Structure 1
Amino acid sequence: MSATIYDTPEHELLRDQVARFLAREVEPHAAAWEETGMVPRDVLRRMGQAGLMGIAFEGEYGGADADALTNLVFAEALSQSTFAGFIITVLVHTDMAGPHLHHAGTPAQKAKYLLRVTAGELITAVGISEPGAGSDVAGMRTTARRDGDDWVINGTKMFITNGVHGDLYFVAAKTGTARHDMSMFIVEKGTPGFTVGRALKKTGWLSSDTAELVFDNVRIPADNLLGEEGKGFYSVMKNFQTERVALGAMAIGHCTQALKLTLDYVRQRQAFGAPLWDQQTIRQRLSMLDAKVRAARQFMYHCAWSVTQGHDIVQEVSMLKALTGELVNEVVQTCQQFHGGMGFIRETAIERLWRDARVLAIGGGATEVMLEEVAKRY
């Protein structure tokens, strides 16, 4: 990965640490995880022991108090793996679910859970999407009603990463009649009435587990309310900014690896008596794609830097999510095309990247929704 104007020596050390972890713990084994449909828990615990399962969290709870730029460096470094199921398993924990506890948890909630979250002992998931409400968060139907000293949750969540093998779930539910009146709750695995409806079979991200979650009169203590009652919608919207930057990093990582694999391949692959690289159209298309990726990467880092400056960048992050979600599909599909028949063989990294890239234009906010978020802020 080339340097950016925002880099520090600490960023380079973090990139090196993540690269070593990937080379030692992930790349030699992750093909087997694709078959089993999950990342082994001992690998995630070793990530926690290495200090890589919550660097943005407070130091007193095992984090490193990392700012948005450093957190982006981590997400992009992690995304140099070609196994996106592993990447998303971690990023959901560190950037999409865990931050709800980090931002809104009470001291008692953090003391109970957060040290074990950063240690990789408790794997987290966030329950927002539903069968009829994905990008339209306010359209959810899951409800939570107060009953004495408890809350009782009823409803169904869909497309929940880490849903099958997670331990700690941060669940959004309607707590009033107004469209945006919802709250967040902490639900532990094993709570009576809380079940995995089914594990979902996906086209890509095969080594991550994805589930439908069912809440049937799930009774939890009132202390499991996460943040303010009725303010959950705004917590979700705030956390989407972190999530979308992380997904942008994942997309840029896929682009970087696809271009690297393809440049190596076309220089070696002979066709009509010469390497494919000698074909002008191939050289030029790869060059243009690389230019687009480098430009998007610099924009991504600018977004993270803007967060560190306290700027409101909902519009820019929405642009980033839309841009990178579409770009990764353009890059990976073109690179797959240049691999010819080998690009369609399941054992190849480029074929895996092609399958895994598709969801990046959908998950975390579909491109069309992101562009509407951009347009209404002009």
Structure 2
Amino acid sequence: MSARYLQEEHHIFRSALRKFLKKEAYPFYDQWEEDRIIPRSFWTKMGNSGFLCPWVDEQFGGLNADFGYSVVLLEELERVGSSLVGVGLHNDIVTPYLAEYGNEEQKNRWLPGCISGDSITAIAMTEPSAGSDLAGIKMTAVRDGNDYILNGEKTFITNGIHADIIVVVCKTDPKAIPAHKGISLIVVERDTSGFTRGKKLNKIGLHSQDTAELIFEDARVPASNLLGEEGKGFYYLMQQLQQERLIVAIEAITAAEEMLNQTIEYVKNRNAFGKKISDFQTVQFRIAEMATEVELGRTFLDDLIMEHMEHKHIVKQVSMAKYWTTEMARKIATECMQLHGGYGYMEEYEIARRYRDIPVASIYAGTNEIMKSIIAKELGL
């Protein structure tokens, strides 16, 4: 059953994207995982084919497409593998900051490269001593004439190695009370003096997704790279987090669907004690339970996508979806690996990779503990 927000043109777009990924991603994904990075050439191929930031306005080179196209992209990229999460972040998390809060000069300077794939984006929030507590960041940006001088470190930055354009969350007023009122967003470009990348981080999963430390030592950035107004950074972040968390839920439910489908195929073809594993009632019940949870999650999520496209305020529901779908997907991964038996622990079976990749979804974009706190607050507790 097709979601209500998908029209014929979305299905045509999905068909074209699948053909592209079948040629340009699926055959190479295992090598990317081994190399621990996705080549930049893939990004430019995505851009040349119209699969980067299709929602951007036509005057900057985009297609002015609705969020339904973004959903199609997120789903199909996740079906290839979770390490393509960086493309979704570029398309629908970072670039929206540039489009929403950038002035005309900034948008003309940055958006065309985001669409072509010549410019890869990242957003630098997390620091070694500040994660979910954004107001606790230490990174500073001090005004010096026509420039800002940035000092501090960021860590766990998705696309950190490849990034050409980085939206950096920093404090332009460290003495502000409350602290979040001193936060601003400043765009740092690849060749900025005083900006260096630390090591590419070695993660349990998402092996080909480049995650890095970023270091700023008296990094001099033009004041014209301030995104929006000084001191409004925290407000901008809060405005965009609804979509960011919805994206994580979309990726999680898609991963759960993929794991379930692979496991159904496995148990239908694997024999034990003279019959197919799928003939055992206990296996059938476990599959039925997982299929029910996945279907419930998908139905809830499709409704939220519709409401998001209608620009409704659904912070509570999106927090519920992000928390519940990521926990559910993690449970599905464990169940599916178990049903694969010893083969599930072998690298040749995709479930092993999925088992490694899915846990971080309950951590990034705000931990699930933070999601529960938001839900509680929205319930008036």
* TM-score, normalised by the number of residues in structure 2: 0.96
Matches of 2:364 and 2:285, distance apart in 1: 31
Tell me if structure 2 keeps the 8 A contact 1:276–1:282: yes
State the secondary structure of the residue aligned to 2:79: coil
What are the residue-to-residue correspondences of 1:105-120 with 2, within 5 Å? 105-120=102-117
Matches of 2:321 and 2:72, distance apart in 1: 16
**Pairwise CA distance, 1:276:** 0.5
**Pairwise CA distance, 1:364:** 1.0
Match of 1:362? 363
Match of 1:95? 92
Matches of 1:166 and 1:3, distance apart in 2: 35
Tell me if structure 2 keeps the 8 A contact 1:53–1:118: yes
Match of 1:232? 233
Tell me if structure 2 keeps the 8 A contact 1:72–1:245: no
Match of 1:170? 167
Matches of 2:194 and 2:350, distance apart in 1: 41
Match of 2:5? 6
**Pairwise CA distance, 1:161:** 0.8
State the secondary structure of the residue aligned to 1:213: strand
**Pairwise CA distance, 1:13:** 1.4
Tell me if structure 1 keeps the 8 A contact 2:77–2:85: no
- Quote the RMSD (CA, aligned, Å): 1.2
Matches of 2:299 and 2:58, distance apart in 1: 29
Match of 2:346? 345
State the secondary structure of the residue aligned to 1:125: strand
Matches of 1:159 and 1:347, distance apart in 2: 28
Matches of 1:102 and 1:286, distance apart in 2: 43
Matches of 2:149 and 2:200, distance apart in 1: 24
**Pairwise CA distance, 1:42:** 1.1
Match of 2:373? 372
Residue 124 (structure 1) aligned to one of 108, 121, 125:
121
Tell me if structure 1 keeps the 8 A contact 2:253–2:326: no
Matches of 2:104 and 2:128, distance apart in 1: 34
Which consecutive unaligned segments of at least 5 residues does structure 1 have?
Answer: none
* TM-score, normalised by the number of residues in structure 1: 0.97
Tell me if structure 2 keeps the 8 A contact 1:171–1:187: yes
Which consecutive unaligned segments of at least 5 residues does structure 2 have?
Answer: none
Query: 1:163 corresponds to which letter in structure 2?
Result: G
1:295 equivalent to 2:292? Answer no
Tell me if structure 1 keeps the 8 A contact 2:199–2:213: yes
**Pairwise CA distance, 1:159:** 0.2
**Pairwise CA distance, 1:258:** 0.4
Matches of 2:308 and 2:254, distance apart in 1: 21
What are the residue-to-residue correspondences of 1:43-192 with 2, within 5 Å? 43-81=42-80, 83-85=81-83, 87-176=84-173, 177-178=175-176, 179-180=179-180, 181-192=182-193
Matches of 2:362 and 2:280, distance apart in 1: 31
Moved segments of 4+, more than 3 Å: none
What are the residue-to-residue correspondences of 1:10-25 with 2, within 5 Å? 10-25=9-24
Matches of 1:28 and 1:296, distance apart in 2: 30
CA displacement 1:66-92 (0-9 Å, x = unmatched) = 2233322321232221x211x212112
Match of 1:258? 259
Match of 1:245? 246
**Pairwise CA distance, 1:243:** 1.4
Match of 2:329? 328
Query: 2:115 corresponds to which letter in structure 1?
Result: T
Tell me if structure 2 keeps the 8 A contact 1:18–1:78: no
**Identity over aligned pairs, percent:** 38
State the secondary structure of the residue aligned to 1:323: helix
Equivalent pairs counted in the alignment come to: 375
Matches of 1:47 and 1:134, distance apart in 2: 31
